[in-house]
Amino acid sequence: MLLGMSIANEQFFGGVMMNESERSFDNDAFYRALAATVDAREITWKQASQETGVSPTTLTRMAKGRKPDGASLAVLATWAGLDLSAFVNLAAKAPKGEPLALATAHLRADPSLSDSSKDALEEMMKAAYISLRKKDKK
């Protein structure tokens, strides 16, 4: 329960009553970010399981769209360096910045990339993001 009491399918959050349609966890986006971490570290899911203590069964269920239990979610997010609030959708949630700017900042912070590699990634991401965003608005 988040900062308050739950009543059936409604919840008080920050003094505001919210129903379930106004709050959700983007499990698919979390799993994709987790998969990107596994890929970036060039490890297997079995190794991720061993490093985190999260069972392979839980990871397999997540790959099929099931949500992990709270403890596994917390461990996986910490292990991957992911901020869980980025995957929570709340109607009352304040925006944290433009997605492209945030992604660019994260990639530029990678010490294993040269400046020219960072520039190239930024240009590719920017072109793809702008193109897809325009396409999706239609």
Residue intervals of the chain classified under CATH 1.10.260 are 25-90
User: 25-90 — its CATH code?
Assistant: 1.10.260
Residue 93 backbone phi and psi in degrees, to 5: -70, 130
Beta-carbon count within 10 A of 47 CB: 12
Residue 31, strand partner residues: none
pLDDT of residue 15: 44
Q: Quick: pLDDT tens for 74-99.
A: 999 999 999 998 888 877 656 677 88
Residue 133: HSE in the Cβ half-sphere, 13 Å Cα cutoff:
9
pLDDT tens digits, 59-76:
999 999 999 999 999 999
The first and second tokens of residue 40, run together, are 């970036």
- Rounded Cα–Cα distance for residues 35 and 38 (Å): 5
pLDDT at 99: 84
- Output the pTM of the full model: 0.62
